[in-house]
Amino acid sequence: MSAKRWNPGTIALQAIAAAGALIVLFPMYVAVITAFKSPQELARSFFAIPERLFLGNFGTVFGTPHFLRSAFNSFFVTAASLGLIVLFIPVLSWAIARNSRKRYFKFLYYYFIVGIFVPFNVIMVPLVKLSQALHMMNVPGLVVLNAACATIQGVFLFTGFVRTLPVELEEAARIDGCGVVRTFVSVIFPLLAPMIATFVVIRGLFIWNDFMMPLLVLNKSRSFWTLPLFQYNFRSDYTVDYGAACASYLIAILPVLVLYNFMQKYIVKGLTAGAVKS
Predicted pLDDT of residue 47 = 81
Identify the bridge partners of residue 235 per DSSP, sorted by sequence position. 240
Mean pLDDT across the stretch 250-257? 86
Three-class SS of residue 221? coil
Of 45-54, 80-89, 205-214, 261-270, the poorest mean pLDDT is in 261-270
What does the mean pLDDT of the chain come to?
84
Predicted pLDDT of residue 278 = 42
pLDDT (tens digit per residue) in 137-168: 899 999 999 999 999 989 999 998 899 888 88
Is pLDDT above 80 for 266? Answer: no
Is pLDDT above 50 for 42? Answer: yes
Phi/psi for 47 (5° steps) reads -105, -5
Rounded to 10°, the helix 139-162/103-114 angle is: 120
Domains of the chain: 8-54 (no CATH), 64-272 (1.10.3720.10)
* Dist CA 246 CA 221 (whole Å): 24
DSSP letter string, 51-90: SS---HHHHHHHHSTTHHHHHHHHHHHHHHHHHHHHHHHH
Predicted pLDDT of residue 91 = 93
Predicted pLDDT of residue 74 = 93
Phi/psi for 58 (5° steps) reads -70, -35
Mean pLDDT across the stretch 184-188? 88
Predicted pLDDT of residue 274 = 46
More confident residue, 211 or 1: 211
